[in-house]
Structure 1
Protein backbone atom coordinates (compact mmCIF):
# COMPACT_ATOMS: atom_id res chain seq x y z
CA UNK A 1 0.00 0.00 0.00
CA UNK A 2 1.45 3.31 -1.12
CA UNK A 3 0.84 6.33 1.12
CA UNK A 4 0.57 9.58 -0.74
CA UNK A 5 2.31 12.61 0.76
CA UNK A 6 -0.55 14.75 -0.48
CA UNK A 7 -3.15 12.60 1.29
CA UNK A 8 -1.07 12.71 4.47
CA UNK A 9 -0.81 16.49 4.22
CA UNK A 10 -4.55 16.83 3.74
CA UNK A 11 -5.29 14.61 6.74
CA UNK A 12 -2.87 16.53 8.96
CA UNK A 13 -4.22 19.91 7.81
CA UNK A 14 -7.80 18.78 8.53
CA UNK A 15 -6.79 17.62 12.00
CA UNK A 16 -4.90 20.85 12.74
CA UNK A 17 -7.82 22.87 11.40
CA UNK A 18 -10.22 21.09 13.75
CA UNK A 19 -8.04 21.72 16.81
CA UNK A 20 -7.38 25.32 15.75
CA UNK A 21 -11.14 25.87 15.69
CA UNK A 22 -11.44 24.45 19.21
CA UNK A 23 -8.64 26.71 20.42
CA UNK A 24 -10.06 29.80 18.70
CA UNK A 25 -13.53 29.17 20.11
CA UNK A 26 -12.14 28.57 23.60
CA UNK A 27 -9.83 31.59 23.58
CA UNK A 28 -12.48 34.22 24.44
CA UNK A 29 -13.31 32.24 27.59
CA UNK A 30 -9.94 33.40 28.93
CA UNK A 31 -11.27 36.97 29.28
CA UNK A 32 -13.91 35.66 31.70
CA UNK A 33 -11.28 33.69 33.64
CA UNK A 34 -8.98 36.69 33.98
CA UNK A 35 -11.72 39.18 34.85
CA UNK A 36 -13.07 36.89 37.58
CA UNK A 37 -9.62 36.49 39.13
CA UNK A 38 -9.32 32.75 38.46
CA UNK A 39 -6.15 33.28 36.43
CA UNK A 40 -3.47 35.95 36.89
CA UNK A 41 -1.02 35.32 34.02
CA UNK A 42 -0.82 33.82 30.55
CA UNK A 43 1.92 33.02 28.10
CA UNK A 44 1.93 34.49 24.60
CA UNK A 45 4.53 33.06 22.22
CA UNK A 46 7.01 32.43 25.03
CA UNK A 47 6.34 35.63 27.02
CA UNK A 48 4.60 35.27 30.37
CA UNK A 49 2.58 38.36 31.25
CA UNK A 50 0.74 39.11 34.48
CA UNK A 51 -2.58 40.84 35.07
CA UNK A 52 -1.24 43.92 36.90
CA UNK A 53 -2.54 46.76 34.72
CA UNK A 54 -5.75 47.50 32.81
CA UNK A 55 -3.87 47.29 29.49
CA UNK A 56 -3.50 43.56 30.17
CA UNK A 57 -6.97 43.05 28.69
CA UNK A 58 -5.91 44.77 25.47
CA UNK A 59 -2.92 42.45 25.18
CA UNK A 60 -5.19 39.49 25.94
CA UNK A 61 -7.67 40.62 23.26
CA UNK A 62 -4.84 40.95 20.72
CA UNK A 63 -3.65 37.48 21.66
CA UNK A 64 -7.16 36.15 20.99
CA UNK A 65 -7.15 37.94 17.63
CA UNK A 66 -3.83 36.17 17.02
CA UNK A 67 -5.59 32.82 17.60
CA UNK A 68 -8.18 33.73 14.97
CA UNK A 69 -5.48 34.84 12.52
CA UNK A 70 -3.73 31.51 13.12
CA UNK A 71 -7.01 29.80 12.31
CA UNK A 72 -7.28 31.83 9.08
CA UNK A 73 -3.72 30.81 8.15
CA UNK A 74 -4.52 27.13 8.73
CA UNK A 75 -7.75 27.54 6.72
CA UNK A 76 -5.84 28.85 3.68
CA UNK A 77 -3.12 26.21 3.96
CA UNK A 78 -5.81 23.54 4.14
CA UNK A 79 -7.57 25.00 1.10
CA UNK A 80 -4.27 25.02 -0.81
CA UNK A 81 -3.57 21.39 0.16
CA UNK A 82 -6.96 20.31 -1.17
CA UNK A 83 -6.54 22.37 -4.34
CA UNK A 84 -3.14 20.90 -5.20
CA UNK A 85 -3.15 17.70 -7.24
CA UNK A 86 -0.23 15.79 -8.76
CA UNK A 87 -1.04 17.45 -12.08
CA UNK A 88 -2.05 20.91 -10.83
CA UNK A 89 0.20 22.77 -8.46
CA UNK A 90 0.34 26.12 -10.23
CA UNK A 91 -3.02 27.81 -10.01
CA UNK A 92 -4.10 31.37 -9.20
CA UNK A 93 -6.28 30.11 -6.34
CA UNK A 94 -3.39 28.14 -4.86
CA UNK A 95 -1.20 31.24 -5.16
CA UNK A 96 -3.86 33.32 -3.40
CA UNK A 97 -4.22 30.77 -0.58
CA UNK A 98 -0.45 30.72 0.02
CA UNK A 99 -0.32 34.53 -0.01
CA UNK A 100 -3.17 34.90 2.49
CA UNK A 101 -1.76 32.13 4.71
CA UNK A 102 1.59 33.92 4.81
CA UNK A 103 -0.03 37.28 5.43
CA UNK A 104 -2.16 35.94 8.30
CA UNK A 105 0.90 34.20 9.76
CA UNK A 106 3.04 37.36 9.76
CA UNK A 107 0.28 39.69 10.99
CA UNK A 108 -0.88 37.19 13.61
CA UNK A 109 2.59 36.70 15.05
CA UNK A 110 3.21 40.46 15.15
CA UNK A 111 -0.19 41.20 16.72
CA UNK A 112 0.45 38.55 19.35
CA UNK A 113 4.13 39.08 20.18
CA UNK A 114 4.79 42.84 19.93
CA UNK A 115 2.06 44.00 22.36
CA UNK A 116 3.07 41.25 24.82
CA UNK A 117 6.70 42.42 24.76
CA UNK A 118 5.71 46.07 25.21
CA UNK A 119 3.34 45.18 28.05
CA UNK A 120 5.90 42.99 29.78
CA UNK A 121 8.57 45.67 29.83
CA UNK A 122 6.26 48.54 30.75
CA UNK A 123 4.77 46.63 33.69
CA UNK A 124 7.98 45.00 34.92
CA UNK A 125 8.31 47.46 37.83
CA UNK A 126 4.75 46.69 38.98
CA UNK A 127 5.37 42.95 38.73
CA UNK A 128 8.60 43.23 40.76
CA UNK A 129 6.97 45.43 43.42
CA UNK A 130 4.15 42.90 43.85
CA UNK A 131 6.81 40.24 44.48
CA UNK A 132 5.64 38.08 41.58
CA UNK A 133 8.44 35.74 40.59
CA UNK A 134 9.84 36.55 37.19
CA UNK A 135 11.02 33.46 35.41
CA UNK A 136 12.74 35.44 32.73
CA UNK A 137 13.55 39.09 32.40
CA UNK A 138 14.61 38.94 28.77
CA UNK A 139 12.77 38.16 25.58
CA UNK A 140 13.28 34.57 24.56
CA UNK A 141 13.23 34.50 20.80
CA UNK A 142 14.21 30.85 20.95
CA UNK A 143 15.14 28.72 18.02
CA UNK A 144 12.57 25.95 18.16
CA UNK A 145 9.37 25.38 16.24
CA UNK A 146 7.41 27.82 18.40
CA UNK A 147 10.00 30.57 18.01
CA UNK A 148 8.80 34.02 16.99
CA UNK A 149 11.51 34.28 14.33
CA UNK A 150 10.66 30.87 12.88
CA UNK A 151 6.97 31.81 12.67
CA UNK A 152 7.80 35.10 10.94
CA UNK A 153 10.16 33.35 8.54
CA UNK A 154 7.48 30.74 7.76
CA UNK A 155 4.92 33.46 6.96
CA UNK A 156 7.35 35.34 4.74
CA UNK A 157 8.31 32.05 3.07
CA UNK A 158 4.65 31.38 2.25
CA UNK A 159 4.35 34.84 0.69
CA UNK A 160 7.49 34.20 -1.38
CA UNK A 161 6.09 30.83 -2.52
CA UNK A 162 2.92 32.61 -3.63
CA UNK A 163 5.02 35.09 -5.64
CA UNK A 164 6.96 32.23 -7.26
CA UNK A 165 3.70 30.50 -8.22
CA UNK A 166 2.32 33.78 -9.60
CA UNK A 167 5.46 34.33 -11.70
CA UNK A 168 5.39 30.74 -12.98
CA UNK A 169 1.73 31.16 -13.98
CA UNK A 170 2.66 34.29 -15.97
CA UNK A 171 5.56 32.48 -17.66
CA UNK A 172 3.27 29.52 -18.48
CA UNK A 173 0.68 31.89 -20.01
CA UNK A 174 3.36 33.60 -22.10
CA UNK A 175 4.70 30.21 -23.16
CA UNK A 176 1.23 29.09 -24.24
CA UNK A 177 0.91 32.19 -26.48
CA UNK A 178 4.19 31.64 -28.33
CA UNK A 179 4.16 29.58 -31.48
Structure 2
Protein backbone atom coordinates (compact mmCIF):
# COMPACT_ATOMS: atom_id res chain seq x y z
CA UNK A 1 0.00 0.00 0.00
CA UNK A 2 2.28 2.81 -1.21
CA UNK A 3 1.89 6.48 -0.39
CA UNK A 4 3.74 8.57 -2.92
CA UNK A 5 4.69 12.23 -2.57
CA UNK A 6 4.99 13.81 -6.01
CA UNK A 7 6.01 17.33 -7.01
CA UNK A 8 3.70 18.06 -9.95
CA UNK A 9 5.27 20.28 -12.58
CA UNK A 10 3.50 23.22 -14.20
CA UNK A 11 1.15 22.22 -17.07
CA UNK A 12 0.99 18.52 -16.08
CA UNK A 13 -2.55 17.09 -15.94
CA UNK A 14 -3.63 15.32 -12.72
CA UNK A 15 -4.71 12.16 -14.50
CA UNK A 16 -3.11 9.03 -15.86
CA UNK A 17 -5.11 8.84 -19.08
CA UNK A 18 -3.26 10.45 -21.97
CA UNK A 19 -4.39 13.66 -23.62
CA UNK A 20 -2.85 14.43 -27.03
CA UNK A 21 -0.09 16.99 -26.69
CA UNK A 22 -0.37 17.24 -22.88
CA UNK A 23 1.83 15.77 -20.15
CA UNK A 24 0.06 13.72 -17.48
CA UNK A 25 0.94 11.81 -14.32
CA UNK A 26 1.65 8.76 -16.50
CA UNK A 27 4.70 10.57 -17.89
CA UNK A 28 6.25 10.65 -14.39
CA UNK A 29 4.86 7.77 -12.33
CA UNK A 30 4.99 4.13 -13.38
CA UNK A 31 3.68 2.58 -10.14
CA UNK A 32 0.62 0.50 -11.05
CA UNK A 33 -2.83 1.06 -9.54
CA UNK A 34 -2.15 4.34 -7.76
CA UNK A 35 -4.48 7.31 -7.86
CA UNK A 36 -4.17 10.95 -6.83
CA UNK A 37 -5.62 11.92 -3.45
CA UNK A 38 -6.83 15.31 -4.59
CA UNK A 39 -5.99 17.36 -7.64
CA UNK A 40 -4.05 20.37 -8.78
CA UNK A 41 -4.98 22.35 -11.87
CA UNK A 42 -2.60 22.08 -14.81
CA UNK A 43 -1.43 25.64 -14.19
CA UNK A 44 -0.64 24.91 -10.52
CA UNK A 45 2.46 23.17 -9.23
CA UNK A 46 3.60 21.33 -6.16
CA UNK A 47 2.86 18.54 -3.75
CA UNK A 48 0.44 15.76 -4.56
CA UNK A 49 -0.17 12.51 -2.69
CA UNK A 50 -0.97 9.31 -4.56
CA UNK A 51 -1.95 5.92 -3.17
CA UNK A 52 -3.54 2.60 -4.06
CA UNK A 53 -5.61 2.62 -0.83
CA UNK A 54 -9.11 3.96 -1.57
CA UNK A 55 -9.93 4.74 2.06
CA UNK A 56 -6.67 6.64 2.54
CA UNK A 57 -7.21 8.47 -0.75
CA UNK A 58 -10.68 9.54 0.43
CA UNK A 59 -9.44 10.62 3.87
CA UNK A 60 -6.71 12.81 2.33
CA UNK A 61 -8.80 14.37 -0.43
CA UNK A 62 -12.25 14.83 1.10
CA UNK A 63 -12.87 18.27 2.67
CA UNK A 64 -14.79 16.72 5.58
CA UNK A 65 -11.50 15.28 6.88
CA UNK A 66 -9.96 18.76 7.07
CA UNK A 67 -6.39 17.95 6.10
CA UNK A 68 -4.64 21.32 6.00
CA UNK A 69 -3.14 22.25 2.64
CA UNK A 70 -0.71 25.15 2.29
CA UNK A 71 -0.26 27.04 -0.96
CA UNK A 72 2.49 29.52 -1.78
CA UNK A 73 0.92 32.13 -4.03
CA UNK A 74 2.61 34.85 -6.07
CA UNK A 75 0.07 37.56 -6.82
CA UNK A 76 0.03 40.50 -9.19
CA UNK A 77 0.14 43.64 -7.04
CA UNK A 78 1.08 44.84 -3.58
CA UNK A 79 -0.61 43.01 -0.72
CA UNK A 80 -2.03 45.26 2.00
CA UNK A 81 -3.54 44.56 5.41
CA UNK A 82 -7.10 44.91 4.09
CA UNK A 83 -6.64 42.32 1.34
CA UNK A 84 -4.92 39.97 3.79
CA UNK A 85 -7.80 40.32 6.28
CA UNK A 86 -10.35 39.62 3.53
CA UNK A 87 -8.46 36.47 2.48
CA UNK A 88 -8.49 35.17 6.07
CA UNK A 89 -12.20 35.79 6.68
CA UNK A 90 -15.06 33.94 4.99
CA UNK A 91 -15.07 35.25 1.42
CA UNK A 92 -18.12 35.15 -0.83
CA UNK A 93 -17.04 33.80 -4.22
CA UNK A 94 -20.54 33.82 -5.69
CA UNK A 95 -21.29 30.10 -5.76
CA UNK A 96 -19.94 29.46 -2.24
CA UNK A 97 -18.47 31.22 0.79
CA UNK A 98 -15.00 30.11 1.84
CA UNK A 99 -14.24 28.98 5.35
CA UNK A 100 -11.84 31.13 7.37
CA UNK A 101 -8.22 30.33 6.57
CA UNK A 102 -4.69 31.28 7.50
CA UNK A 103 -3.06 33.77 5.13
CA UNK A 104 0.27 35.48 5.78
CA UNK A 105 2.52 37.57 3.60
CA UNK A 106 5.89 35.91 3.03
CA UNK A 107 9.12 36.71 1.23
CA UNK A 108 9.68 34.96 -2.07
CA UNK A 109 10.64 31.39 -1.08
CA UNK A 110 14.37 31.05 -1.73
CA UNK A 111 14.11 27.26 -2.09
CA UNK A 112 11.48 27.44 -4.83
CA UNK A 113 12.57 26.21 -8.25
CA UNK A 114 12.29 28.49 -11.29
CA UNK A 115 9.11 27.92 -13.25
CA UNK A 116 9.24 26.98 -16.92
CA UNK A 117 8.04 29.09 -18.61
CA UNK A 118 8.95 31.88 -16.19
CA UNK A 119 6.43 34.24 -14.65
CA UNK A 120 6.28 37.50 -16.54
CA UNK A 121 8.27 40.33 -15.00
CA UNK A 122 6.97 43.90 -15.04
CA UNK A 123 9.34 46.34 -13.38
CA UNK A 124 6.56 48.92 -12.98
CA UNK A 125 4.17 46.60 -11.09
CA UNK A 126 5.03 44.80 -7.85
CA UNK A 127 4.23 41.21 -6.98
CA UNK A 128 3.65 39.76 -3.52
CA UNK A 129 3.87 36.28 -2.01
CA UNK A 130 1.24 34.83 0.33
CA UNK A 131 1.13 31.51 2.20
CA UNK A 132 -2.51 30.39 2.37
CA UNK A 133 -3.51 27.37 4.46
CA UNK A 134 -6.95 25.94 3.79
CA UNK A 135 -8.98 23.21 5.44
CA UNK A 136 -11.05 22.95 2.28
CA UNK A 137 -10.14 22.95 -1.37
CA UNK A 138 -12.77 23.67 -3.96
CA UNK A 139 -12.03 23.98 -7.66
CA UNK A 140 -9.63 26.90 -8.31
CA UNK A 141 -10.43 28.26 -4.85
CA UNK A 142 -7.10 29.97 -4.12
CA UNK A 143 -7.02 31.67 -7.53
CA UNK A 144 -10.60 32.83 -7.08
CA UNK A 145 -9.87 34.11 -3.56
CA UNK A 146 -6.89 36.23 -4.61
CA UNK A 147 -8.79 37.58 -7.63
CA UNK A 148 -11.72 38.52 -5.36
CA UNK A 149 -9.42 40.76 -3.30
CA UNK A 150 -7.93 42.37 -6.43
CA UNK A 151 -4.70 40.37 -6.60
CA UNK A 152 -4.72 37.89 -9.50
CA UNK A 153 -2.59 34.79 -9.00
CA UNK A 154 0.55 34.59 -11.12
CA UNK A 155 1.97 31.38 -9.62
CA UNK A 156 0.48 28.80 -7.26
CA UNK A 157 2.56 26.08 -5.56
CA UNK A 158 1.06 23.63 -3.04
CA UNK A 159 3.81 23.21 -0.48
CA UNK A 160 2.16 20.90 2.07
CA UNK A 161 -0.69 18.48 2.71
CA UNK A 162 -1.25 17.47 6.34
CA UNK A 163 2.10 16.37 7.81
CA UNK A 164 3.85 16.17 4.43
CA UNK A 165 5.66 19.12 2.91
CA UNK A 166 8.17 19.98 0.24
CA UNK A 167 10.26 21.56 3.02
CA UNK A 168 10.81 18.18 4.70
CA UNK A 169 10.74 16.16 1.46
CA UNK A 170 12.57 18.39 -1.03
CA UNK A 171 11.58 17.23 -4.50
CA UNK A 172 12.19 19.00 -7.77
CA UNK A 173 9.30 19.15 -10.26
CA UNK A 174 8.63 15.67 -11.64
CA UNK A 175 10.36 13.89 -8.74
CA UNK A 176 8.60 11.60 -6.32
CA UNK A 177 9.34 9.53 -3.24
CA UNK A 178 7.51 6.70 -1.56
CA UNK A 179 6.84 7.42 2.10
CA UNK A 180 7.32 4.56 4.61
CA UNK A 181 4.09 2.82 5.60
CA UNK A 182 4.36 4.19 9.17
CA UNK A 183 4.02 7.75 7.87
CA UNK A 184 0.51 6.95 6.65
CA UNK A 185 -0.69 6.79 10.24
CA UNK A 186 -0.07 10.53 10.53
CA UNK A 187 -3.00 11.15 8.20
Same fold (TM over 0.5): no
TM class, shorter-length: under 0.3
TM-score of the two chains, using structure 1 as the length reference = 0.23
Higher relative contact order structure (alpha carbons within 8 Å, sequence separation ≥ 6): 2
> Computing the radius of gyration over CA atoms, which structure comes out larger, 1 or 2?
1
TM-score of the two chains, using structure 2 as the length reference = 0.23
Q: Which has the higher helix share?
A: 1
